[in-house]
Amino acid sequence: MRPKAFKYNCIPALIAAAIALTACASVGPIEDDIPVAFTYEMQVDQVGEDRIAYYTDGEGAPSIYLLHGIPTSSVLWRNVAPIVAEAGTVAALDLPGYGISSVPASGDYSHDGLYEPMAAWLDQQEAPFVMVVTDLGSVLGIDYAMRNPDRVNGLVLIEAAFMPAEAWRDQLTTMQKAMFPMMRSNWFANFMITARPRFQGLALNMGTVRRYSKEEKERYLGQYDDIERRKVVRDGPGPTAMPRNGISVAPDDMAAKMNQNAAALAETDIPILLLTADPGMIVQPEAVAYARETFKNLTVVEIGAGLHFAQEDQPTAIGEAIRDWLFETGLSEQ
């Protein structure tokens, strides 16, 4: 009989293998010689009791704000930012509770608890501006853009949650869907996220075609030495927060926020750029079809082979697609 520790330690590996196999059975070539180093100097602004960290590149209008997802940080955009900066001023943020931004001082790690410090920082910036969002950054960023249509004049989506929650969940693979009920288990969420950042490491490894260097892994995962940052992942908007079958059961749950975002996106005239990776992970062909049928002012660009964190597999293609779209739409004044 195998010891209990062996059984528990096999769980992450089994999940990783199952999800990875269903997500990336066949992936094409990615960019060669992707830079590992992070060369930007971080800046930190005090916003009330919270701190928002970010780095900048470029100059002139428009301002372009890049929002990352779980379990990464603004580092995700390090090789995209200098290309986009050819069209304006780029700022890549660490979302509240991630990177070196402070954990929300309110102690509220819900959608609203993360949204409020981020929104307070964005409210201080000169408008209008463009937002580039992915993963968690898409749920928070779309919310901001739809609440503030006079401040946001362009939206870029990559591996983003932009559909109604139930439809978004339905287009995922079977194994991806299976993750959500497991994560709703308190024991499992604590084991995978809080006790040690097992989920964070798995999500990072499964989200790219290429393998990370030791330096890159430490840069992304070192933040989780702080248990409060692990709690932000466990208790905040993310895999543990999705209600059963993506069906909202409360007016402020994650599904409700996604549904509100989707309804507003269907009505907006704001130009939207959707970047798609092949095969991607949380944006499948059904999601792309939905976007084409629903959004009024949409451009779709394929950026090549990639999974969830395509910024780590195709940074040049992503940067060039955003830069060119900014020029083509007239959003850039460069």
Q: What is the DSSP string of 159-193?
A: S---S-HHHHHHTS-HHHHHHHHHHTSHHHHIIII
**pLDDT tens-digit series, residues 44-59:** 999 999 999 999 999 9
pLDDT value of position 281 = 96
Phi-psi region of 194 (alpha: psi -120 to 50; beta: other; left: phi over 0): alpha
Average confidence score pLDDT of the chain: 93
Q: β-pairing, 89-93 with 50-57?
A: antiparallel
Mean pLDDT, rounded, for 205-219: 96
pLDDT value of position 1 = 42
Tell whether 225 is covered by a domain. yes
Tell whether 32 is covered by a domain. no
Secondary structure class of 8 (helix, strand, coil): helix
Q: In the structure encoding, which two tokens stand for residue 99, read together?
A: 């990177």
pLDDT value of position 8 = 47
Q: In the structure encoding, which two tokens stand for residue 187, read together?
A: 């024991």
Q: Quick check: pTM over 0.85?
A: yes
Residue 75 domain boundaries: 4-26+47-329
Tell whether 105 is covered by a domain. yes
Rounded CA separation 132/272 (Å): 10
CATH code assigned at 56: 3.40.50.1820
Confidence of residue 334 (pLDDT cuts 50, 70, 90): confident
Q: At what angle do helices 198-206 and 4-23 cross, to 10 degrees?
A: 30
Helix residue ranges, H only, 198-281: 198-206, 214-221, 227-235, 254-267
Partnered with residue 54 across adjacent β-strands are 43, 93
pLDDT value of position 28 = 80
Q: How many domains does the chain contain in total?
A: 1
Confirm if 192 and 12 have CB atoms less than 8 A apart: yes
Rounded CA separation 316/294 (Å): 28
**pLDDT tens-digit series, residues 10-42:** 555 455 445 544 444 467 899 999 999 999 999
Q: In the structure encoding, which two tokens stand for residue 205, read together?
A: 């490894």
Tell whether 260 is covered by a domain. yes
Measuring CA to CA, which residue among 17, 23, 264, 34 is closest to residue 155? Answer: 264
Partnered with residue 91 across adjacent β-strands are 56, 65
**pLDDT tens-digit series, residues 131-168:** 999 999 999 999 999 999 999 999 999 999 999 999 99
Tell whether 324 is covered by a domain. yes
Tell whether 239 is covered by a domain. yes
Tell whether 33 is covered by a domain. no
Rounded CA separation 39/22 (Å): 35
pLDDT value of position 200 = 97
Tell whether 207 is covered by a domain. yes
Mean pLDDT, rounded, for 117-127: 98
Confidence of residue 224 (pLDDT cuts 50, 70, 90): very high
pLDDT value of position 175 = 86
Which residues contact residue 277 at a Cβ distance below 8 angstroms, ignoring those fewer than 6 apart?
158, 159, 283, 302, 303, 304, 305, 306, 307, 310, 313, 314
**pLDDT tens-digit series, residues 184-193:** 999 999 999 9
Rounded CA separation 121/48 (Å): 9
